[in-house]
Chain A
Amino acid sequence: MIHLEKLSIKQLFWLVVLTQVGVHVLTIPFEESKHSGYDSWMSVLIGGVMAQAVILITYQLGKRYEDRPLPKYMSAITGKLLGAVLNVVLALYFAESSLMVVVSYADILRRWVLFTTPWSVIVGVTFAIAAYIATSSLRSIATITQTIVFMFLFCFAIVVISGLGRGDLRNFMPLGTHGIGPIVKDALPAFWAYAGYELLLYVFPFVKCRKKKDILITVSVANGFTTFFYVLLSFIATYSFSESQLKSVPEPMIFILRQFRWPTVQNLDILFMTIWLSVTTVTVYVYLFMAARYLAFVRGKEIRNHPFLVWIVAFACFSIGIWVSDRQRLSRFIHYHDTVSILIIAGIPAFLLLVSLVRKRVVLR
């Protein structure tokens, strides 16, 4: 029942885009401007290019085993023991990513919208809804995501309209003075903002397409769209704030939205954060779904009870989530997560691809 029907190319596109964008939209380009300042938009762009490179690796790997999802063929590449370990590592990574997203967004909600609601309630409700959605079939998830696209596009419009308010083009000048080093350095935190295309490792065999190449094109276009969106956001932020302001404002987008007045809506930022919640939920439920699916293949035989696994993962994440309400701990957690995600979403597919290439060579000889 988990795969009732295949995904269409359009569904894959939106699934990738909406998994990619998430909490980061509000903070861009705070993390990315630590070294590169007003040149941060270049860092964001480079992050997108790096993500594209990883997509190529992922695609190559997926194409070699086009009839099965990664957790199924993992042990065929690495052997049983290492395969199981890697499945667990990936499952843990996905669970941790979902936790990460929930916690960072709950932190934003607590500071800007829900002042009095207890931390555990915000985290709990988000996890409950995301887990409920994650227990559905892949097709249902794609349908839900496609419906959330409307809310995403609405938010997109809000951002574009309000971002073109007061600002100064001189904020960008002089271009590129920070040097190539700091710009590349800041591309690393940007890289994690692009995470989301790794769902391709699992989804690959379930996409309905004429040629396998269409998948690569779709995911690349989706990544291109996200890159465009992120660069646009960092443009808007740099357009409105000077470098010294950028470094002290952790959520520039909220400030920009707040100062913009519409005749019908007073505080656009609250509306935006509310609607954006559904877009971040996409990331959460996709990751929960992935975590449960990877977990299902830990032993040799597949564990069929998908909803049960999802609820277990969600509950574990929730119980950890209530303990990271402290902001100091949260930022340490985010920092650690950036490093880990680079290792896992770029490292593991590259490693697997290499091993499978070498193995084939050996077999051919």
Chain B
Amino acid sequence: MKADISSEINEKSLLGLLSQSSDFKSSDFSAGNRHYRLFYVDTMIEPTVVQEHVIRPLLHHSDGSSIREAVSILEYGETELLSDASNALIEGKTVVHIEGETKLYLLGTDLKKERSVNIPVNERVLRGSNEALIENLNTNLNLIRKLIATPDLAVKYYILGRRSNTKVAVLYLSSLANEKVLKEFERRLGLIDIDYVEAPGFLKELIHDRKLALFPQILVSERPDRVRSNLMDGKIAILTDGSPDCLIVPVSFWAFLQSPDDYQVTWLFGSVFRLFRVVCFILAISLPGAYVALVTFDPRTIPFEIALTVQSSMQYVAMPPVLEAIFMMVTLELLREASVRLSSPIGQTIGIVGGIVIGTVVVQSNLVSTMMVVVIAFTAIASFIIPSYEMSIAARILPYPIIILSSIFGLIGLELSFLLVIAHLARLNTMGIPYFYSGLNGEEDTFLRSPLSSWKKRPKESVAKDNTRIKVTEDGNP
């Protein structure tokens, strides 16, 4: 619909377009022989900007010069369409109309309310930057652009969600990111046809490869420095407006066990910590299963003295070890979930209930053996070591099938479940690229973090266009 020459009619139609919202306001004033009418949504604008940079200059410019020359506002637009004007209004722009013209002037006067950049809460490191992404897309882009000061960094905007109009920014280094992956990614983004995007959770689910994957295939991070290191590998980062998380594709299994800390210490310690994390991941998924297998099937494998200890702890326990294990795992799960949901003043009670009531009384009442409590506690701590929340969810779910398989086939069941997990991992793809590799093929940054001097190439999963990281000079030294 085109704008009318009469301000009155325009106001009515804009009010109609904005569903008769009560915060839609207008204000009149005249300067010289011109009658101005300002339209705005008063909850979305910054009043001082409108007063100082729109109204005041317009009042002083009575010589008939154009609005562009009069106002001191950077974001300026003109339109004749009322629908454009209504969209601008909900973004916080002020629309100016001059009585007798069909033109509408759009001036950027939006109110910016955002929290300041804080320290990361979910991904803590000892050394490294202390900035975390926040809910505002522009601030996030600013943080990342400051870290990667190169014109090579491409930022592309997409609008997703027919009704929610969520703004999504896709970032990549244009000289590194693989075109095929980029194209595939953009194709998947283009296929999304949904009215509302709960970002970035929906987005994650809508673009990933296999519905039945047990392992996360998209890395989520709130750390700009982590985003940078991934972009520098030739990967693609996705930021959504309103979310302090950045999605990174394509990633391999090992990315979820890496922490920015590994690169701040020497490679030797980095490797030790990495290996430690891998071992803990394996323990977190298999320890209860292994214990169940050992005590129910193959107590012959444990040395005699230890077997006696285990036996004495199990003496008065009526439940079979499988049920014991599942009972304790579920209890642990309850504690974990409860401690996230409870508000912080009551949160401390969880420690008392969990530690004293469940830990001690359950054993004293012979519901669960002490050995089992030790095993489950150890499993829980091992699962806390995994640096990525998404991967630690996988590590929380996987023990259950493993416990059941081990209780049926003993150690053989444990072995079979390992095979299944490895097979599942090896069959996964992200954006058409293998998700898992064994780390034996000359990959540098997998279960060990090898010295920087050996990082001659970028990681396999990013299939970067330019693969050389360290240029080797004539005499063979980097």
Contacts and interface: CB of A to CB of B under 8 A. Distances in A.
Contacts of B420: 129, 132
Q: SS class of chain B's interface: helix, strand, loop or mixed? A: helix
Nearest to A274: B411
Given A129-B420, A136-B423, A266-B304, A8 B412 contact: no
Nearest to A265: B301
Interface residues of A, number: 37
A125 interface: yes
Interface stretch (A144-152, A286-294, A357-365): A144-152
A277 interface: yes
Given A133-B423, A146-B440, A139 B411 contact: no
Interface string B304-323: 10010000000000000000
Contacts of B416: 125, 129, 277
Nearest to B428: A140
B462 to A, nearest CB: 15
A67 interface: no
Given A114-B409, A143-B434, A266 B415 contact: no
A10 B419 contact: no
Given A129-B419, A132-B420, A270 B426 contact: no
A267 B300 contact: yes
A271 B303 CA distance: 13
Contact of A140 (B302, B414, B427): B427
B436 interface: yes
B410 A147 contact: no
Given A148-B422, A277-B412, A263 B427 contact: no
Contact of B411 (A117, A141, A271): A271
A275 B416 CA distance: 9
Contact of B303 (A109, A140, A265, A277): A265
A89 interface: no
Interface in A269-322: 270-271, 274-275, 277-278, 281
B65 interface: no
Given A132-B420, A267-B300, A271-B301, A277 B434 contact: no
Contact of A270 (B411, B427, B441): B411
A271 B302 CA distance: 10
Interface in B432-467: 434, 436-438, 440-442
Contact of A133 (B307, B415, B419): B419
Interface string A11-34: 100100000000000000000000
B384 interface: no
A129 B424 CA distance: 11
Interface string B397-431: 00000000000011110111011101100110100
A214 interface: no
A324 interface: no
A143 B440 CA distance: 9
B436 A143 contact: yes
A4 B301 CA distance: 42
B205 interface: no
Given A263-B303, A266-B300, A267-B301, A143 B419 contact: no
A113 interface: yes
Given A136-B426, A143-B434, A270 B301 contact: yes
A144 B300 contact: no
Nearest to B436: A143
B418 A278 contact: yes
Contact of B440 (A132, A149, A265): A149
A131 to B, nearest CB: 11
Counting chain B CB atoms within 10 Å of each CB, the highest count among A10, A266, A277 belongs to A266
A125 B409 contact: yes
Contacts of B301: 265-267, 270-271
Given A125-B416, A263-B303, A270-B298, A8 B441 contact: yes
A136 B427 contact: yes
Nearest to A14: B440
A168 interface: no
A139 B298 CA distance: 35
Nearest to A144: B426
24 contacts: A5-B434, A14-B440, A109-B412, A117-B409, A125-B409, A132-B423, A133-B419, A136-B426, A143-B434, A143-B437, A144-B422, A144-B423, A146-B437, A148-B422, A149-B440, A263-B303, A264-B303, A265-B302, A266-B300, A270-B301, A271-B411, A274-B411, A278-B419, A281-B419
What 9 A-B pairs have minimum CB-CB distances, sorted nearest first?
A146-B438, A143-B426, A140-B426, A274-B411, A144-B426, A133-B423, A147-B438, A267-B300, A147-B422
Given A4-B429, A10-B440, 9 more contacts: A117-B409, A136-B426, A137-B427, A140-B427, A144-B419, A149-B438, A263-B303, A265-B303, A274-B411
